[in-house]
Amino acid sequence: MNIKIGFLCGLFLMLSIFMMSCHSIKEQHIILKTLPPVMLEKNGIEIFQFWEFTNDPYLWDTNFVQPTSLKLYKDSVSNVLGKDAFRLKILELAFQDTSYKPMNTKNGDSINAQLIHSKILGIIRPINYLEAQLLDYQISRYPLLSHPTEFHGFILFHDSLKLVRVYFAASDQPWPPKPNVILEAVKNDLKMGWTFKYHLHNHYESKVNDYLGILAPSISDAQYYLFLSQEYSLNQAIITNGFHTVEIQREEFKKLKSPENN
């Protein structure tokens, strides 16, 4: 009897440790909708704010539980398009291979898309945890299917402090607001040992184009990347559509079509 009781006590102790461990792992995952930001400025519906947290590996993980608002958006698009068409659209937008056949066009936006799809520029990969959290945050404010918007995300690293600082600018409009107050803050951060690692924004499409955004920069995006790299030492531009993200390195910015070379 004592052996049996001892076994049960040991099992209970192991289970308690396991549950505590799971709770600890769960709590270290940042959920931006419940993490209060530092507000820099608010102009009506325009918000300019930031979060700061430890640079943990899970932030960059591409295998994670989808946040609720983003999952609802994905499920809704799947229902509207139908599962087969939905899957094909995701694959089509994420396609990147040297076998891609470019079309003859003078449209700068289309040329940039072709540069990405033909694997000349950029790398397309699944969306990661932090990108999903930022998109989920904005979708929770304005549903992407019925009220589409874009946001700015300025992601800075401080290597010695092992911190990530994420500036966020958004409104209720289809385009993000001019982030002047954020750029001023970034300028000060650079003097304090921070590096401007990523600029993130999201793309979407209208109903006639099946909602999912293209994974390539517009000519206006390309122009902005050049500005950010020259004035604020931006390392990398990233664009997400909620499913995949394209990464474009600083040295590739000049190869994109922009108003200067369109």
pLDDT digits (tens, 9 = 90+) for 142-187: 999 999 999 999 999 999 999 999 999 999 999 999 999 999 999 9
> Does pLDDT of 24 surpass 50?
no
Binned at pLDDT 50, 70 and 90, residue 260 comes out as confident
State whether 16 and 49 are in the same domain.
no
pLDDT digits (tens, 9 = 90+) for 56-110: 999 999 999 999 999 999 999 999 999 999 999 999 999 999 999 889 999 999 9
> Does pLDDT of 27 surpass 80?
no
Binned at pLDDT 50, 70 and 90, residue 261 comes out as confident
State whether 142 and 37 are in the same domain.
yes
User: What is residue 29's predicted lDDT score, i.e. its pLDDT?
Assistant: 84
Strand 152-158 vs strand 195-202: parallel, antiparallel, or unpaired? antiparallel
> Does pLDDT of 138 surpass 60?
yes
Alpha helices by DSSP H, listed for the chain, are: 2-28, 68-81, 83-94, 108-117, 129-141, 180-191, 219-232
User: What is residue 143's predicted lDDT score, i.e. its pLDDT?
Assistant: 97
Binned at pLDDT 50, 70 and 90, residue 12 comes out as very low
State whether 75 and 15 are in the same domain.
no
CA separation, residue 94 to residues 35, 186, 215 (Å): 31, 31, 7
With beta carbons less than 8 A apart as the criterion, state whether 131 and 240 touch: yes
State whether 136 and 19 are in the same domain.
no
This prediction has a pTM of 0.89
pLDDT digits (tens, 9 = 90+) for 218-249: 999 999 999 999 999 999 999 999 999 999 99
Exposed (0-12), middle (13-18) or buried (19+): which is 110, by Cβ within 10 Å? middle
Residue 261 lies in a domain: no
State whether 128 and 10 are in the same domain.
no
Residue 157 lies in a domain: yes
DSSP 147: S
Tokens (6 digits) for 82: 């139908």
State whether 18 and 61 are in the same domain.
no
State whether 62 and 23 are in the same domain.
no
User: What is residue 25's predicted lDDT score, i.e. its pLDDT?
Assistant: 35
